[in-house]
Amino acid sequence: MGATVPETKWWGWGDTARARSLESLPELRAFLRQALDLPDTVEPLRVPDAESIRLPPTHLAAGDADALRDLLGRDAVSDAPMERLRHACGKGYRDLVRLRLGDVAAAPDLVLFPGSEADVGKVLAFCAERGVAVVPFGGGTSVVGGVEVSDPSRPHATLDLRRMARLLQVDGTSLTATAEAGIFGPALEAQLAAQGVGLGHFPQSFEYSTLGGWIASRSTGAFSNRYGKIEDLVVDVRLLAPTGVHDLRGRPRHAMGPDLVALAVGSEGTLGVITRATVRVHRTPEARKFESVLFPGFEQGLEALRGMAQEGMSPDLAYLDDEDETRLSVAAAGGSKTATALLRLRGITLDRASLAYFGYEGSRESVSRRFGLGRSYWRPGVAAGPGPAERWMESRFVTPYVRDSLIEHRVLVDTVETAALWSNVERVHAAVRRAFHAAVAAVGVPGWIGCHVSHIYSEGASLYFTFMARQRRGEELTQYDAVKRAVTRAILDGGGQLSHHHGIGSEHAPYFREAIGDENWRLLRELKRTLDPRGIMNPGKIFPVGA
Amino acid sequence: MGATVPETKWWGWGDTARARSLESLPELRAFLRQALDLPDTVEPLRVPDAESIRLPPTHLAAGDADALRDLLGRDAVSDAPMERLRHACGKGYRDLVRLRLGDVAAAPDLVLFPGSEADVGKVLAFCAERGVAVVPFGGGTSVVGGVEVSDPSRPHATLDLRRMARLLQVDGTSLTATAEAGIFGPALEAQLAAQGVGLGHFPQSFEYSTLGGWIASRSTGAFSNRYGKIEDLVVDVRLLAPTGVHDLRGRPRHAMGPDLVALAVGSEGTLGVITRATVRVHRTPEARKFESVLFPGFEQGLEALRGMAQEGMSPDLAYLDDEDETRLSVAAAGGSKTATALLRLRGITLDRASLAYFGYEGSRESVSRRFGLGRSYWRPGVAAGPGPAERWMESRFVTPYVRDSLIEHRVLVDTVETAALWSNVERVHAAVRRAFHAAVAAVGVPGWIGCHVSHIYSEGASLYFTFMARQRRGEELTQYDAVKRAVTRAILDGGGQLSHHHGIGSEHAPYFREAIGDENWRLLRELKRTLDPRGIMNPGKIFPVGA
């Protein structure tokens, strides 16, 4: 079976045929007008013609492109401006604003489409020899600058893995599946479903991201409490480093020295190219069941989540909005008279409530029993039925389209995420909010920040912040940098992880050494030197350029 | 709180005051007489006087011992023959036979008892400077040659961590605990229990092994299906490498590059000294419940375990004897008329049955519900009540004492363990049995081999083999080497892991490169060079001497 590659926008999120404008969401628009003091009309930040964007001239030595065409075939090598543009950056706020501003200071000189591991091997050998940097590219949905050209002084070839997208094997007895790294989420799940199994890894980027990208960036999906982060799902990985082919075997468990699979997971293209992986799969669930609960406050919701996580009773999906994000969710849904009435009975103010979604899947019996057991943890809150949770599930993949429209309306909108021990979750939450509000005040615009927990562990939880503010025209990027710097500083100073599932990329690279400590940083640097002695693999990611 | 160090035998397992002779187990003795064709009487392989054992002369340069005494204090440095002997080897069959034969060709020149991380740092700096090899030593229960002196041409200092055994902190909100690496299992659990929590890690060596040893060797405990292997319990690790101090932070989860905690877990003292760790703990369970089940055969038992593992219904403890190990268990228990009668009702022959033990712990409600759900998986078998499982739990920590007596009776007795994907479990099981029987036949003695599964995963399971044969006098070690070589070869050729939870040590080191592949082996070798450029850390473990 061949690749199924979604046709996507070069300038924004996802499917060219799909859009969700702010105009189509009057309640959200009203909420933001108030929260961000948005003007009634604004001159849109429009998408320019692709042809009008000036790409930097090529850095490649004469003959290198032709040599690569000889190695891979003509149709596997492109220097067309449209391909260079499409592979110039990821899908973070910074990326999408730069594209709209026509500010593409760096782009790969070539885009390569290898069809096999042999092709990848040839590319790595050639590029090591010629000093050409290689950027592995899956779906290109990085929001931390993971696929951009960070060192414009060097020639770059981006390695788009979309042609390496076969499901290679399903072991129905061991419940494992082996696939090439370039397979996209929907194609993988569809082919697995045809064999009665599934991976169950649904990051928000699911439709436009790949197996290899998930592994390279340590991604996490909606049902993570059941299936784990991608590192929990990985059995084996093949990593093609410039120095050789690493077949990393992890499962079933072993006591054979340090776990080397763990070096490939999260390597973000800096150690080599992940070309294939074997992952755990599970039989297609018989049933799914959701519930929505309004807690009297975020603190009470956190207590419920912690109780469930620490007593082995985590719902497969557990999602908890803080008070601000709840207000946004309720407003965007057009408010809810029923919810308000229900809450009043229990003395909960909707304005201070904290909204949670819980989801279960598996056999009918398991879903029904676990759902029943979950109830005792929700008791401090008011159950609001499956509706809001189901609507949230449906709308998850739509939200990034709304972001495109917000940017067009000149709204600064981004997310940062972290994870903290339970004893530290509320402190990090408060610190990030404080830092954000101070930062937007310094910039001189009103801002809004909300947060949710979406992944829980016995020792702690993730915190996912969404923030918005009015763009200052002409200062779009400096304003963003100031805000992002402030919230990142608050996370690190508060003891949170630099990232829980977005990764480091180039955007967090300046903080990486501080986050993991000098000695560990040096160790990882040496590890990179061992696997990539010429330093061709994805320069500027994880390690800043020149580090 | 200070260290609680059990007083142990230098020549055998565990407590000097505890023993379990073969004479006290007439049913087992009768079984082995038949299975191994043991003679009625045998001249015992006795334990020699410790004083009669000649230790090799010291390799230390003049002044080095005094310099270390100046650094650490006089009472923290010993070159007493008894300390050297106690730290000369682990507790494998090969070790215990060599001790009885008085064959101690290699022993550490000094035993050091550091009291703090500062002490460990001083030792590493001094030994790197002076070219003295350092062997980290926890409980010394390695059965794969993990703490011996593998390169007798170099001076060695063994670093016994028993004085670094404090429980440092319990975070009751995040359910984590931080302790020094030298703390022994019972002391750790007792101190945690006083705070209402527990770690739940119970390897068979539990009474005589340490937190640091568990992490260094990737150990696994009885309730692994609930709490995981030690790598699942580790939150943070501090690793003192010769090049610096690594504070490795793993939890809650992150997307901050490769997982470096995974490099310390399983490093077996070859990269540095693990001095402290933070681990996940859980609230003390309210209830425990066991069941014993006789399946019509091993194959049917495996199917039941796989079903439970793949449907998220694993008992916290799941243990399944193959037919041969079942025959031994039933015989050693003096047979069971009730069991035989029960089985006949269901058409199961006791002689071909496969005995399983299941255990659950947690809240009363959770235990009772999960126990109820488990029943449907046991249906192909016959439930035999909690008795056999409870007796097995009680006898687990006694079995190694029986081994001492078997060795005294000149029985070759050892275990090898592996893990395989479910699609490969039966093949590996058959291959190891075949290889063992061919090997003992070649040596010319009757042999017995049994196997059990004790750790299950959705993709596969562990296989733990116990084998016995008559010792050939004067050839005790060569005979053992031949058998061990044959079963290890069968494991590797069959696609099993070189070890599931015993580790590599020196005994599996010759196979390590083949097991993980050339490229991975070179990578790990470079990693060691980075952290330990002078090659002082535990030479000959994981990597063969001179590799």
pLDDT of A2: 42
The rounded Cα B528 to chain-centroid distance in angstroms is 24
Residue B490, min C-alpha distance to chain A (Å): 17
Q: With a threshold of 0.95, does the pTM exceed it?
A: yes
Q: Do B217 and A255 touch (CB under 8 A)?
A: yes
* A478 in any annotated domain: no
Residue A7 reports pLDDT greater than 90: no
Which residues in chain A have Cβ-Cβ distances shorter than 8 Å to B241? 519
Q: Do A260 and B503 touch (CB under 8 A)?
A: no
Nearest CA-CA partner of A440 in A380, A497, A480: A480
* B348 in any annotated domain: yes
* B252 in any annotated domain: yes
Mean pLDDT, chain A, rounded, equals 95
Which residues in chain B have Cβ-Cβ distances shorter than 8 Å to A257? 266-268, 504, 512, 516, 524, 542
* Interface contacts (A, B; CB < 8 Å): 273
pLDDT of B332: 83
Which residues in chain B have Cβ-Cβ distances shorter than 8 Å to A369? 369, 373
CB-nearest to B171 from A421, A497, A523 is A421
Which residues in chain A have Cβ-Cβ distances shorter than 8 Å to B458? 175, 280, 282
Average pLDDT, integer, range A417-446: 97
What DSSP string runs through B270-303? SS-EEEEEEEE-EEPPSEEEEEEEEESSHHHHHH
- Specify the CATH number for the domain of residue A328: 3.30.70.3450
Q: Does residue B98 share a domain with residue B140?
A: yes
Residue B25, min C-alpha distance to chain A (Å): 33
Condensed to tens digits (0 to 9), the pLDDT of residues B214-266 reads: 999 999 999 999 999 999 999 999 999 999 999 999 889 999 999 999 999 99
Nearest CA-CA partner of A407 in A106, A15, A20, A40: A20
Spatial distance between the Cα atoms of B445 and A177, rounded to a whole number of angstroms: 44
Average pLDDT, integer, range B337-358: 76
pLDDT of B2: 42
Q: Does residue B292 share a domain with residue B279?
A: no
Spatial distance between the Cα atoms of B330 and B339, rounded to a whole number of angstroms: 9
Q: Do A255 and B266 touch (CB under 8 A)?
A: yes
Q: CB atoms < 10 A from the CB of A526, how many?
A: 16
**Predicted confidence band at A44 (pLDDT cuts at 50, 70, 90)?**
very high
Here the tokens at position B5 are: 């160090």
Nearest CA-CA partner of B301 in B482, B459, B425, B115: B425
Helices B298-310 and B364-378: crossing angle in degrees, nearest 10, is 130
* B69 in any annotated domain: yes
Residue A374 reports pLDDT greater than 70: yes
Q: B222, B253, B283 — which closes off a domain?
A: B283
Q: Does residue B133 share a domain with residue B80?
A: yes
Q: In the sheet that A176-180 helps form, which strands lie side by side, from edge to edge?
A: A167-171, A176-180, A273-280, A234-241, A244-249
Sort strands A382-385 and A287-295 into parallel, antiparallel or unpaired: antiparallel
Residue B219, min C-alpha distance to chain A (Å): 7
* A330 in any annotated domain: yes
- CA atoms within 13 Å, Cβ hemisphere of B397: 15
Q: Does residue B366 share a domain with residue B316?
A: yes
Q: What angle do CA B520, B523, B528 make, to 5 degrees?
A: 125
Residue B256, min C-alpha distance to chain A (Å): 6
Pick from A38-47, A103-112, B323-332 the range whose average pLDDT is largest. Answer: A103-112
CB-nearest to A421 from B174, B523, B527 is B174
Condensed to tens digits (0 to 9), the pLDDT of residues A448-502 reads: 999 999 999 999 999 999 999 999 999 999 999 999 999 999 999 999 999 999 9
Q: B163, B192, B208 — which closes off a domain?
A: B163
Q: Does residue B382 share a domain with residue B295?
A: yes
Catalytic residue among A93, A208, A360, A464: A464
Residue B481, min C-alpha distance to chain A (Å): 20
Q: Does residue B75 share a domain with residue B114?
A: yes
* B102 in any annotated domain: yes
b (16+ CB within 10 A) / e for A278-314:
bbbbbeebeebbbbbbbbbbbbbbbebbbebbbbebb
Please name the helix (run of DSSP H) or strand (run of DSSP E) that holds residue B523, with its range, or none. Answer: helix B518-531
pLDDT of B336: 61
Residue B1 reports pLDDT greater than 50: no
CB-nearest to B523 from A260, A280, A362 is A260
* B487 in any annotated domain: no
Q: B129, B163, B197 — which closes off a domain?
A: B163
Residue A246, min C-alpha distance to chain B (Å): 6
* 3-class DSSP assignment, residue B262: helix
Mean pLDDT, chain B, rounded, equals 95
Nearest CA-CA partner of A215 in A146, A264, A271: A264
* A9-23, A39-53, A337-351, B510-524: segment of lowest average pLDDT: A337-351
**Predicted confidence band at A199 (pLDDT cuts at 50, 70, 90)?**
very high
Burial degree of A331 (CB within 10 A; 0-12, 13-18, 19+): middle
Q: Do A519 and B267 touch (CB under 8 A)?
A: no
Spatial distance between the Cα atoms of B324 and A201, rounded to a whole number of angstroms: 42
Average pLDDT, integer, range B522-534: 97
CB-nearest to A217 from B255, B421, B500 is B255
* B2 in any annotated domain: no
> Which residue segment(s) compose the domain that B147 sits in?
42-163
- Specify the CATH number for the domain of residue B226: 3.30.465.10
Phi/psi of residue B497, each to 5°? -75, 145
pLDDT of B386: 93
Percentages helix, strand, coil for chain B (3-state, rounded to 5) are 40, 20, 40
Condensed to tens digits (0 to 9), the pLDDT of residues A207-235 reads: 999 999 999 999 999 999 999 999 999 99
The total domain count for chain A is 1
Q: Does residue B276 share a domain with residue B183?
A: yes
Q: Do A174 and B256 touch (CB under 8 A)?
A: no
* Whether A464 is catalytic: yes
Nearest CA-CA partner of A440 in A469, A417, A474: A469
Here the tokens at position B514 are: 């083949």
Which residues in chain A have Cβ-Cβ distances shorter than 8 Å to B366? 311-313
* 3-class DSSP assignment, residue B448: strand
CB-nearest to A366 from B175, B254, B312 is B312
Nearest CA-CA partner of B260 in A525, A36, A410, A429: A525
Q: Does residue B291 share a domain with residue B279?
A: no
Condensed to tens digits (0 to 9), the pLDDT of residues A51-70 reads: 999 999 999 998 999 999 99
* A190-204, B186-200, B371-385: segment of lowest average pLDDT: B371-385
pLDDT of A403: 97
* 3-class DSSP assignment, residue B486: helix
Catalytic residue among B208, B319, B457, B464: B464
pLDDT of B338: 60
Please give the residue of chain B at the shortest CA–CA distance from A250. Answer: B497
E strands, B373-519, in order:
382-383, 411-421, 447-453, 460-470
Q: Does residue B382 share a domain with residue B309?
A: yes
Q: Do B229 and A266 touch (CB under 8 A)?
A: no
Q: Does residue B133 share a domain with residue B232?
A: no
- Specify the CATH number for the domain of residue B62: 3.30.43.10
Q: Do B459 and A421 touch (CB under 8 A)?
A: no
SS3 assignment for A351-397: HHCEEEEEEEEECHHHHHHHHHHHHHHHCCCEEEECHHHHHHHHHCC
Q: Does residue B291 share a domain with residue B278?
A: no
Residue A1 reports pLDDT greater than 60: no
Q: Does residue B361 share a domain with residue B276?
A: no
Spatial distance between the Cα atoms of A182 and A164, rounded to a whole number of angstroms: 5
Which residues in chain A have Cβ-Cβ distances shorter than 8 Å to B501? 253, 255
Q: Do A219 and B266 touch (CB under 8 A)?
A: no
Condensed to tens digits (0 to 9), the pLDDT of residues A304-354 reads: 999 999 998 999 999 999 999 999 988 887 766 666 666 666 667 778 899
Q: Do A422 and B218 touch (CB under 8 A)?
A: no
